[in-house]
């Protein structure tokens, strides 16, 4: 019944005549300044549970207060908190990844941040072991596919492709692969993006560079690993592939047909780094824009963006300008446009700055486990993530609503030809809401994000015109949902 009413409202467009007025007052200068501050040295990369992320939470809460948003009665400090434990890769002594092969005169030490990045919740490690290639690293007895069959991985370092074959119909997570490596006795793992990308990887603009990433296995199952550049993968496998008379691309193409392609190599890999576990507090920040219609104000439209990033890791700083200072800046500007121009919405808007997204959607999972406003009365959740880089288009992921609803908001935002509409996106703070049955719309900037999860994700790479389009769309969408 609720969604049918929303669809009728969207088609009529009766609530939109006033929308152009606040959109004329949006400020890209303000958003660029917010991106620069959030990704600057003051907040130290905003790693969840650290003082830098707490300071960024206070920054958002102060802005919410200044704008006149209300703190919830259940969270009068603006904060929704929980204790977390974060692992940080120590920068001194510097991490090492060294490769030795029969062709090597001496071990080649690869470059941190360019050739490889330790998985950020890896434990301390100091291991030298032979390398074994295990395809996509899948060991799934239930469905009869085991890439470890006939391979001795004990006390070896296994290397596998990220993702899964397009022809493999069953879900496989990175954690499943790490678990399989442990169960087969491996000492550590390497992973990389292969030369054959899936349509989803192409759409997301994935590169072959190493990315900051968490195993998300739980601290009692911590396992060492690193994400490596495809060039390094080619190098460590080159001697064995040459003997086989095959290329890495040919191997990956054969894996698409679920052909066994695992093999031992004549390469030795040395991994060494120290890590530290730190207890801290996760802080979601919530600000309410109350609805004006007594019969609808109890219903909620959530506008959310995660604020956290990777902080300081292995001696590198991860600024997180596009991911997701950009989404946070759009969130703050949307809140300003609703509050500063005297407009009212029938339903309530709840602006939420989540933390813990990079460590497994911790902040959004906290929200749905202890919802301060009933999920059954939540009309939709709008999620804004990496919204400042790309080709100038907006990529929209939709669950629980018809795509025409999202397209209609684009028309009213003056963006009819810049939206690409898709279904469910598999990652982001919208996922816990989708799992509970709340309709979701995810807003990201389209095209390649070449600095994604890298230290090079700096403010100078963010485009003001993309931020402008994102906030125009978010405001139009929220207005439509709330009225």
Q: Both 352 and 429 in a single domain?
A: yes
Last residue of a domain, one of 232, 248, 273: 273
* Contact (CB, 8 A) for 53 and 47: yes
Residues 322 and 398 reside in one and the same domain = yes
Q: Which residues of 304-324 are buried (b: 16+ CB within 10 A; e: fewer)?
A: bbbbbbbbbbbebbbbbbbbb
Tokens of 375: 């999920």
Q: Single out the residue of 232, 214, 272, 267 nearest to residue 97, CA to CA.
A: 272
**What tokens appear for 368 in the block?**
């749905």
Same domain flag for 380 and 401: yes
At 482 the pLDDT is 95
Region of 311 on the Ramachandran plot (φ > 0 left; ψ -120 to 50 alpha; else beta): left
Residues 127, 269: Cα–Cα separation, whole Å: 8
- Give the structural domain span for 198: 94-273
> What confidence score (pLDDT) does residue 12 get?
37
> Is residue 262 domain-shared with residue 282, that is, in the same domain?
no
357 near 291, Cβ under 8 Å? no
- pLDDT score for 8: 35
Neighbours of 196 (CB within 10 A): 18
Neighbour-count burial of 17, counting CB atoms closer than 10 A to its CB (0-12 exposed, 13-18 middle, 19+ buried): exposed
Q: Is the peptide bond before 242 cis (omega within 30 degrees of 0)?
A: no
Dist. CA 125–CA 274, nearest whole Å: 7
* 16 & 108 share domain: no
Question: 224, 244, 273: which is the final residue of a domain?
Answer: 273
b/e code 244-275 from CB counts within 10 Å (16+ = b): eebebeebbbebeebeebbbebebbbbbbbbb
Q: Which of 242, 273, 304 is the last residue of a domain?
A: 273
Residue 99: CATH number of its domain: 3.50.30.30
Instruction: List phi, psi (to 5°) of 233.
Output: -60, -45
What is residue 103's predicted lDDT score, i.e. its pLDDT?
Answer: 66
Tokens representing 410 are: 């684009």
Residues 284 and 360 in one domain: yes
Length of the chain: 483
Predicted TM-score (pTM) of this structure: 0.91
Taking the C-alpha atoms of residue 273 and residue 90, their distance in angstroms, rounded to an integer, is: 7
**Both 70 and 113 in a single domain?**
no
- Judge contact between 344 and 312, C-beta under 8 A: no
Q: Would you write out the chain's pLDDT as a tens digit for each of its 483 residues?
A: 344 444 434 443 444 555 667 788 899 999 999 999 999 999 999 999 999 999 999 999 999 999 999 999 877 888 999 999 888 999 999 999 999 987 665 777 889 999 999 999 999 999 999 999 999 999 999 999 999 999 999 999 999 999 999 899 999 999 999 999 999 999 999 999 999 988 777 776 778 999 999 987 766 788 999 999 999 999 999 999 999 999 999 999 999 999 999 999 999 999 999 999 889 999 999 999 999 999 999 999 999 999 999 999 999 999 999 999 999 999 999 999 999 987 889 999 999 999 999 999 999 999 999 999 999 999 999 999 999 999 999 999 999 999 999 999 999 898 989 999 999 988 899 999 999 999 999 999 999 898 999 999 999 999 999 999 999 999 999 999 999
Q: Are residues 139 and 169 in the same domain?
A: yes
356 and 424 in a single domain? The answer is yes
**Do 477 and 340 have their domain in common?**
yes
In the beta sheet, which residues pair with residue 305?
353
Q: Could you give the angle at which helices 2-12 and 403-412 cross, rounded to 10 degrees?
A: 40
CATH number for the domain harbouring residue 346: 3.40.630.10
Q: Are residues 268 and 282 in the same domain?
A: no
Find all residues with CB under 8 Å of 468, minimum gap 6, and list them.
Answer: 26, 28, 31
Please tell me whether residues 248 and 168 are part of one structural domain.
yes
Count structural domains, the chain.
2
């Amino acid at each position: 019944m609720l969604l049918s009413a929303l669809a009728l409202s969207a088609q009529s467009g009766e609530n939109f005549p006033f929308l152009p007025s606040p959109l004329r007052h949006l400020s890209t200068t303000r958003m660029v300044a917010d991106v620069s501050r959030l990704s600057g040295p003051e907040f130290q990369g905003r790693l969840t549970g650290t003082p830098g992320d707490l300071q960024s939470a206070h920054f958002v809460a102060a802005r919410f207060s200044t704008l006149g948003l209300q703190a919830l009665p259940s969270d009068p400090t603006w904060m929704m908190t929980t204790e977390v434990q974060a692992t940080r890769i120590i920068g001194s002594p510097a991490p090492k990844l060294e490769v030795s092969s029969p062709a090597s005169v001496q071990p080649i030490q690869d470059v941190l941040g360019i050739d490889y990045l330790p998985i950020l919740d890896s434990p301390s490690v100091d291991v030298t072991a032979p390398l074994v290639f295990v395809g996509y690293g899948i060991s799934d007895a239930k469905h009869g596919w085991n890439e470890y069959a006939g391979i001795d991985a004990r006390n070896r370092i296994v290397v596998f492709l990220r993702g899964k074959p397009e022809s493999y119909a069953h879900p496989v997570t990175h954690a499943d692969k790490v678990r399989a490596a442990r169960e087969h006795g491996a000492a550590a793992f390497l992973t990389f993006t292969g030369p054959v990308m899936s349509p989803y990887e192409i759409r997301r603009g994935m590169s072959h560079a190493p990315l900051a990433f968490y195993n998300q296995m739980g601290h009692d199952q911590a396992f060492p690993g690193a994400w490596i550049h495809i060039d390094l993968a080619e190098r460590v496998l080159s001697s064995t592939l040459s003997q086989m008379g095959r290329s890495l691309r040919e191997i990956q193409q054969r894996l698409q047909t679920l052909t066994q392609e695992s093999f031992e190599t004549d390469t030795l890999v040395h991994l060494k780094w120290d890590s530290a576990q730190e207890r801290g507090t996760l802080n979601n920040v919530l600000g309410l824009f109350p609805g004006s219609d007594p019969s609808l104000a109890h219903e909620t439209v959530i506008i959310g963006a995660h604020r956290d990033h990777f902080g300081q890791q292995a001696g590198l700083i991860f600024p997180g300008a596009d991911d997701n200072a950009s989404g946070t800046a759009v969130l703050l500007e949307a809140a300003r446009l609703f509050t500063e121009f005297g407009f009212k919405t029938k339903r309530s808007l709840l602006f939420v700055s989540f933390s813990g997204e990079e460590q497994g959607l911790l902040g959004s999972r906290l929200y749905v486990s202890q919802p301060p406003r009933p999920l059954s009365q939540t009309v939709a959740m709008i999620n804004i993530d990496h919204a400042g880089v790309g080709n100038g288009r907006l990529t929209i992921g939709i669950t629980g609503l018809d795509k025409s609803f999202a397209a209609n908001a684009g028309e009213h935002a003056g963006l009819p030809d810049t939206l690409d509409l898709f279904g469910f996106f598999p990652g982001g703070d919208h996922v816990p809401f989708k799992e509970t049955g709340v309709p979701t719309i995810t807003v990201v900037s389209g095209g390649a994000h070449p600095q994604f999860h890298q230290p090079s994700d700096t403010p100078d790479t963010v485009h003001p015109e993309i931020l402008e389009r994102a906030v125009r769309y978010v405001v139009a969408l929220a207005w439509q949902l709330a009225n």
